[in-house]
Amino acid sequence: MRTKCPFAAMLAALACVIAPPALAASFTLSTPDPDNSSITVAARNFADLVKKETNGEVEIKVFPNGTLYGGDPGAAVKQLGGGSLDLLLLSASLYANFKPRFIAVSIPYLFDNMDQFKAYLASDAARQLDADVASMNIQPLGYWPRPFRVITNSKVLIKSPADLKGIKLRVPNNPLWVEFFRAMDAAPTPMAFGEVYNALQLAVVDGQENPISIPMDAKFYEVQKYLTFTNHIADAWVLGMNRRKWDALPENVKAAVGKCAVQAQFDKIKYDEDGSGSTEAFLKEKGMETYRLTPGEHAQFVGVAKKLYPRFGELVKDDAFYKKTLEFVGKN
Protein backbone atom coordinates (compact mmCIF):
# COMPACT_ATOMS: atom_id res chain seq x y z
CA MET A 1 0.00 0.00 0.00
CA ARG A 2 1.34 3.44 -0.98
CA THR A 3 1.95 5.92 1.84
CA LYS A 4 0.81 9.52 1.58
CA CYS A 5 3.58 11.93 0.67
CA PRO A 6 4.45 13.91 3.82
CA PHE A 7 5.71 16.84 1.70
CA ALA A 8 2.37 17.10 -0.14
CA ALA A 9 0.52 17.05 3.17
CA MET A 10 2.75 19.81 4.50
CA LEU A 11 2.10 21.98 1.42
CA ALA A 12 -1.63 21.49 1.76
CA ALA A 13 -1.52 22.51 5.40
CA LEU A 14 0.60 25.56 4.58
CA ALA A 15 -1.83 26.61 1.85
CA CYS A 16 -4.67 26.59 4.35
CA VAL A 17 -2.67 28.88 6.62
CA ILE A 18 -1.57 31.46 4.04
CA ALA A 19 -4.59 31.45 1.72
CA PRO A 20 -6.47 34.76 1.86
CA PRO A 21 -10.01 34.64 3.24
CA ALA A 22 -12.69 33.94 0.68
CA LEU A 23 -14.65 37.03 -0.33
CA ALA A 24 -18.02 37.17 1.36
CA ALA A 25 -19.07 39.84 -1.12
CA SER A 26 -17.74 42.12 -3.83
CA PHE A 27 -19.46 45.41 -4.67
CA THR A 28 -19.07 48.42 -6.91
CA LEU A 29 -19.26 52.02 -5.67
CA SER A 30 -20.00 54.79 -8.17
CA THR A 31 -19.06 58.45 -7.82
CA PRO A 32 -19.98 61.28 -10.21
CA ASP A 33 -16.66 63.12 -10.16
CA PRO A 34 -13.16 62.54 -11.58
CA ASP A 35 -10.60 60.08 -10.27
CA ASN A 36 -8.69 62.78 -8.36
CA SER A 37 -11.77 64.50 -6.90
CA SER A 38 -12.28 64.70 -3.15
CA ILE A 39 -15.37 62.47 -3.24
CA THR A 40 -13.65 59.75 -5.24
CA VAL A 41 -10.67 59.91 -2.88
CA ALA A 42 -13.14 59.58 0.01
CA ALA A 43 -14.87 56.66 -1.71
CA ARG A 44 -11.57 54.81 -2.03
CA ASN A 45 -10.81 55.50 1.60
CA PHE A 46 -14.20 54.01 2.53
CA ALA A 47 -13.45 50.94 0.41
CA ASP A 48 -10.07 50.50 2.09
CA LEU A 49 -11.62 50.86 5.54
CA VAL A 50 -14.26 48.23 4.75
CA LYS A 51 -11.66 45.79 3.44
CA LYS A 52 -9.57 46.21 6.59
CA GLU A 53 -12.52 46.08 9.00
CA THR A 54 -13.88 42.88 7.41
CA ASN A 55 -10.43 41.24 7.15
CA GLY A 56 -10.66 41.24 3.39
CA GLU A 57 -14.04 39.50 3.22
CA VAL A 58 -15.78 42.48 1.59
CA GLU A 59 -14.26 44.18 -1.42
CA ILE A 60 -15.54 47.45 -2.89
CA LYS A 61 -14.34 48.66 -6.28
CA VAL A 62 -14.73 52.39 -6.93
CA PHE A 63 -15.78 53.72 -10.34
CA PRO A 64 -15.51 57.54 -10.82
CA ASN A 65 -17.01 59.90 -13.41
CA GLY A 66 -20.43 58.26 -13.39
CA THR A 67 -19.13 55.58 -15.74
CA LEU A 68 -21.45 52.86 -14.46
CA TYR A 69 -24.58 54.94 -15.02
CA GLY A 70 -23.71 56.93 -18.12
CA GLY A 71 -23.26 60.17 -16.20
CA ASP A 72 -27.01 60.55 -15.64
CA PRO A 73 -27.58 61.10 -11.88
CA GLY A 74 -31.33 60.58 -12.11
CA ALA A 75 -30.76 57.23 -13.76
CA ALA A 76 -28.16 56.43 -11.09
CA VAL A 77 -30.68 56.73 -8.25
CA LYS A 78 -33.13 54.51 -10.10
CA GLN A 79 -30.43 51.95 -10.89
CA LEU A 80 -29.33 51.89 -7.26
CA GLY A 81 -32.87 51.14 -6.13
CA GLY A 82 -33.28 48.57 -8.88
CA GLY A 83 -30.04 46.77 -8.06
CA SER A 84 -27.95 47.37 -11.18
CA LEU A 85 -25.74 49.59 -9.01
CA ASP A 86 -24.45 48.31 -5.67
CA LEU A 87 -23.35 51.51 -3.88
CA LEU A 88 -23.55 55.14 -4.90
CA LEU A 89 -22.27 58.49 -3.62
CA LEU A 90 -24.47 61.27 -4.99
CA SER A 91 -25.55 64.73 -3.84
CA ALA A 92 -28.60 65.07 -1.64
CA SER A 93 -29.78 67.86 -3.96
CA LEU A 94 -30.27 65.26 -6.70
CA TYR A 95 -32.38 63.08 -4.42
CA ALA A 96 -34.70 66.08 -4.13
CA ASN A 97 -35.96 65.28 -7.63
CA PHE A 98 -37.47 62.12 -6.15
CA LYS A 99 -38.12 63.10 -2.53
CA PRO A 100 -38.89 66.83 -2.04
CA ARG A 101 -37.96 66.86 1.65
CA PHE A 102 -34.32 66.77 0.54
CA ILE A 103 -34.78 70.34 -0.70
CA ALA A 104 -34.65 71.43 2.94
CA VAL A 105 -30.99 70.38 3.13
CA SER A 106 -30.00 72.98 0.54
CA ILE A 107 -32.16 76.01 1.30
CA PRO A 108 -29.88 79.03 0.69
CA TYR A 109 -28.26 80.48 3.80
CA LEU A 110 -30.27 78.20 6.09
CA PHE A 111 -27.19 77.08 8.01
CA ASP A 112 -24.96 79.61 9.71
CA ASN A 113 -21.84 77.44 9.68
CA MET A 114 -20.59 73.94 8.98
CA ASP A 115 -20.93 72.79 12.59
CA GLN A 116 -24.64 73.62 12.54
CA PHE A 117 -25.05 71.80 9.24
CA LYS A 118 -23.28 68.69 10.51
CA ALA A 119 -25.49 68.72 13.61
CA TYR A 120 -28.59 68.90 11.41
CA LEU A 121 -27.46 65.88 9.36
CA ALA A 122 -27.15 63.94 12.62
CA SER A 123 -30.53 65.11 13.99
CA ASP A 124 -33.96 63.52 14.13
CA ALA A 125 -34.97 65.59 11.12
CA ALA A 126 -32.38 63.84 8.98
CA ARG A 127 -33.73 60.48 10.13
CA GLN A 128 -36.93 61.35 8.27
CA LEU A 129 -34.76 61.61 5.16
CA ASP A 130 -33.60 58.05 5.90
CA ALA A 131 -37.19 56.91 5.49
CA ASP A 132 -37.42 58.66 2.11
CA VAL A 133 -34.27 56.91 0.91
CA ALA A 134 -35.41 53.54 2.25
CA SER A 135 -38.72 53.86 0.39
CA MET A 136 -36.69 53.82 -2.85
CA ASN A 137 -35.16 50.41 -1.98
CA ILE A 138 -31.93 52.13 -0.94
CA GLN A 139 -30.19 51.69 2.40
CA PRO A 140 -28.81 55.06 3.60
CA LEU A 141 -25.35 54.59 5.09
CA GLY A 142 -24.56 58.23 5.75
CA TYR A 143 -24.79 61.88 4.77
CA TRP A 144 -21.36 63.37 4.24
CA PRO A 145 -21.43 67.20 4.36
CA ARG A 146 -19.93 69.05 1.43
CA PRO A 147 -18.28 72.48 1.76
CA PHE A 148 -20.63 75.40 1.14
CA ARG A 149 -20.95 76.36 -2.49
CA VAL A 150 -19.14 79.19 -4.30
CA ILE A 151 -19.83 80.92 -7.60
CA THR A 152 -17.45 81.07 -10.56
CA ASN A 153 -17.94 82.88 -13.85
CA SER A 154 -16.09 84.39 -16.78
CA LYS A 155 -17.70 87.86 -16.76
CA VAL A 156 -17.39 89.76 -13.49
CA LEU A 157 -16.35 89.42 -9.86
CA ILE A 158 -19.56 88.85 -7.88
CA LYS A 159 -19.85 91.14 -4.85
CA SER A 160 -23.61 91.65 -4.64
CA PRO A 161 -26.81 90.05 -5.95
CA ALA A 162 -26.97 92.83 -8.56
CA ASP A 163 -23.72 91.53 -10.08
CA LEU A 164 -25.52 88.34 -11.08
CA LYS A 165 -27.98 90.14 -13.33
CA GLY A 166 -27.97 88.51 -16.75
CA ILE A 167 -25.30 85.95 -15.83
CA LYS A 168 -26.08 82.58 -17.42
CA LEU A 169 -25.36 80.26 -14.53
CA ARG A 170 -25.36 76.48 -14.69
CA VAL A 171 -27.28 74.97 -11.77
CA PRO A 172 -28.31 71.41 -10.83
CA ASN A 173 -31.69 70.16 -11.99
CA ASN A 174 -33.41 71.34 -8.82
CA PRO A 175 -36.14 74.01 -8.60
CA LEU A 176 -34.65 75.54 -5.47
CA TRP A 177 -31.54 76.66 -7.35
CA VAL A 178 -33.63 78.06 -10.18
CA GLU A 179 -35.87 80.06 -7.83
CA PHE A 180 -32.95 81.48 -5.84
CA PHE A 181 -30.82 82.66 -8.73
CA ARG A 182 -33.77 83.91 -10.73
CA ALA A 183 -34.61 86.17 -7.77
CA MET A 184 -31.26 87.88 -8.37
CA ASP A 185 -32.02 88.31 -12.09
CA ALA A 186 -29.47 85.69 -13.11
CA ALA A 187 -30.33 83.22 -15.86
CA PRO A 188 -30.14 79.85 -14.06
CA THR A 189 -29.67 76.99 -16.50
CA PRO A 190 -30.20 73.42 -15.24
CA MET A 191 -27.63 71.10 -16.78
CA ALA A 192 -26.06 67.72 -16.08
CA PHE A 193 -22.64 68.07 -14.50
CA GLY A 194 -20.93 66.13 -17.25
CA GLU A 195 -21.89 68.84 -19.75
CA VAL A 196 -20.65 71.81 -17.72
CA TYR A 197 -17.04 72.12 -18.89
CA ASN A 198 -17.96 72.21 -22.57
CA ALA A 199 -20.82 74.62 -21.87
CA LEU A 200 -18.42 76.99 -20.10
CA GLN A 201 -15.82 76.63 -22.82
CA LEU A 202 -18.34 77.41 -25.57
CA ALA A 203 -19.96 80.23 -23.53
CA VAL A 204 -23.32 78.45 -23.53
CA VAL A 205 -23.27 79.47 -19.86
CA ASP A 206 -21.13 82.11 -18.17
CA GLY A 207 -20.59 80.40 -14.85
CA GLN A 208 -21.45 77.68 -12.39
CA GLU A 209 -21.64 77.14 -8.63
CA ASN A 210 -20.26 74.25 -6.59
CA PRO A 211 -18.02 73.56 -3.61
CA ILE A 212 -14.56 75.04 -4.15
CA SER A 213 -12.93 71.70 -4.91
CA ILE A 214 -14.97 71.27 -8.10
CA PRO A 215 -13.37 74.11 -10.14
CA MET A 216 -10.03 72.47 -9.41
CA ASP A 217 -11.04 68.83 -9.92
CA ALA A 218 -13.00 69.53 -13.12
CA LYS A 219 -10.41 72.04 -14.44
CA PHE A 220 -12.95 74.86 -14.64
CA TYR A 221 -10.05 77.25 -14.01
CA GLU A 222 -9.25 76.77 -17.70
CA VAL A 223 -12.56 78.40 -18.68
CA GLN A 224 -13.43 80.59 -15.67
CA LYS A 225 -11.85 83.79 -14.38
CA TYR A 226 -13.68 84.81 -11.19
CA LEU A 227 -14.60 82.97 -7.97
CA THR A 228 -16.60 84.41 -5.07
CA PHE A 229 -17.01 82.70 -1.70
CA THR A 230 -20.75 83.29 -1.49
CA ASN A 231 -21.17 80.10 0.62
CA HIS A 232 -24.80 80.23 -0.41
CA ILE A 233 -26.01 76.63 -0.31
CA ALA A 234 -25.20 73.55 1.75
CA ASP A 235 -25.29 70.05 0.32
CA ALA A 236 -24.32 66.55 1.36
CA TRP A 237 -23.19 63.36 -0.27
CA VAL A 238 -25.67 60.53 0.23
CA LEU A 239 -23.91 57.18 0.61
CA GLY A 240 -26.50 54.61 -0.39
CA MET A 241 -26.54 50.88 -1.02
CA ASN A 242 -29.09 48.75 -2.82
CA ARG A 243 -31.45 47.55 -0.09
CA ARG A 244 -31.67 43.94 -1.23
CA LYS A 245 -27.89 43.59 -1.28
CA TRP A 246 -27.65 45.27 2.11
CA ASP A 247 -30.24 42.94 3.62
CA ALA A 248 -28.30 39.92 2.33
CA LEU A 249 -25.23 40.84 4.38
CA PRO A 250 -24.59 39.16 7.74
CA GLU A 251 -25.22 41.39 10.74
CA ASN A 252 -21.54 41.58 11.66
CA VAL A 253 -20.69 42.76 8.13
CA LYS A 254 -23.45 45.37 8.25
CA ALA A 255 -22.00 46.67 11.53
CA ALA A 256 -18.52 46.82 10.01
CA VAL A 257 -19.70 48.69 6.89
CA GLY A 258 -21.70 51.15 9.01
CA LYS A 259 -18.68 51.80 11.22
CA CYS A 260 -16.50 52.46 8.18
CA ALA A 261 -19.07 54.85 6.70
CA VAL A 262 -18.90 56.96 9.86
CA GLN A 263 -15.09 56.96 9.87
CA ALA A 264 -14.96 57.82 6.17
CA GLN A 265 -17.28 60.75 6.80
CA PHE A 266 -14.95 62.16 9.47
CA ASP A 267 -11.96 61.63 7.20
CA LYS A 268 -13.76 63.40 4.33
CA ILE A 269 -14.59 66.44 6.47
CA LYS A 270 -10.97 66.76 7.61
CA TYR A 271 -9.75 66.31 4.03
CA ASP A 272 -11.99 69.15 2.85
CA GLU A 273 -11.03 71.46 5.73
CA ASP A 274 -7.31 70.83 5.31
CA GLY A 275 -7.44 71.31 1.55
CA SER A 276 -9.51 74.48 1.28
CA GLY A 277 -6.60 76.92 1.50
CA SER A 278 -4.39 74.98 -0.88
CA THR A 279 -7.26 74.67 -3.36
CA GLU A 280 -7.76 78.43 -3.40
CA ALA A 281 -4.01 78.95 -3.83
CA PHE A 282 -3.98 76.48 -6.72
CA LEU A 283 -6.83 78.27 -8.47
CA LYS A 284 -5.05 81.60 -8.06
CA GLU A 285 -1.90 80.12 -9.57
CA LYS A 286 -4.01 79.07 -12.54
CA GLY A 287 -5.14 82.66 -13.05
CA MET A 288 -8.44 82.82 -11.18
CA GLU A 289 -9.33 85.85 -9.08
CA THR A 290 -11.02 85.02 -5.78
CA TYR A 291 -13.11 87.19 -3.48
CA ARG A 292 -14.62 86.83 0.00
CA LEU A 293 -17.79 88.77 0.77
CA THR A 294 -17.77 91.39 3.51
CA PRO A 295 -20.43 90.96 6.23
CA GLY A 296 -22.53 93.65 4.58
CA GLU A 297 -22.29 92.04 1.15
CA HIS A 298 -23.08 88.65 2.62
CA ALA A 299 -26.20 90.13 4.28
CA GLN A 300 -27.53 91.20 0.86
CA PHE A 301 -27.52 87.60 -0.37
CA VAL A 302 -29.07 86.37 2.87
CA GLY A 303 -31.84 88.94 2.44
CA VAL A 304 -32.73 87.57 -0.99
CA ALA A 305 -32.89 84.03 0.39
CA LYS A 306 -35.06 84.91 3.41
CA LYS A 307 -37.72 86.50 1.21
CA LEU A 308 -38.01 83.17 -0.58
CA TYR A 309 -38.37 80.97 2.51
CA PRO A 310 -42.18 80.67 2.15
CA ARG A 311 -41.71 79.56 -1.45
CA PHE A 312 -38.98 77.10 -0.45
CA GLY A 313 -41.40 75.64 2.08
CA GLU A 314 -43.84 74.95 -0.74
CA LEU A 315 -41.13 73.09 -2.64
CA VAL A 316 -40.40 70.87 0.38
CA LYS A 317 -44.06 69.74 0.33
CA ASP A 318 -44.09 68.79 4.02
CA ASP A 319 -45.05 71.65 6.33
CA ALA A 320 -44.27 69.79 9.54
CA PHE A 321 -40.82 68.73 8.33
CA TYR A 322 -40.02 72.21 7.06
CA LYS A 323 -41.10 73.77 10.36
CA LYS A 324 -38.95 71.30 12.27
CA THR A 325 -35.96 72.19 10.09
CA LEU A 326 -36.44 75.93 10.59
CA GLU A 327 -36.78 75.42 14.35
CA PHE A 328 -33.53 73.44 14.42
CA VAL A 329 -31.57 76.34 12.91
CA GLY A 330 -33.49 79.02 14.82
CA LYS A 331 -35.06 80.62 11.76
CA ASN A 332 -38.72 79.81 12.33
Annotated domain spans of the chain? 21-147+235-275, 149-233+281-329
**Section 54-83 average pLDDT:** 96
CA 38 to chain centre: 10
CATH number of 149-233+281-329: 3.40.190.170
pLDDT exceeds cutoff 50 at 11: no
* Whole-structure pTM value: 0.88
pLDDT exceeds cutoff 90 at 8: no
pLDDT recorded at residue 27: 98
Domains 21-147+235-275 and 149-233+281-329 share a fold: yes
Ranges 13-22, 77-86, 181-190, 302-311: which has the least confidence: 13-22
**Section 162-185 average pLDDT:** 96
DSSP 101-169: GGGGGG-TT--SSHHHHHHHHTSHHHHHHHHHHHTTTEEEEEEEEPPPEEEEESS----SGGGGTT-EE
Q: Which fold has domain 21-147+235-275?
A: D-Maltodextrin-Binding Protein; domain 2 (3.40.190)
**Section 170-185 average pLDDT:** 94
Model confidence band, residue 194 (pLDDT cutoffs 50, 70, 90): confident
pLDDT exceeds cutoff 80 at 268: yes
pLDDT exceeds cutoff 70 at 13: no
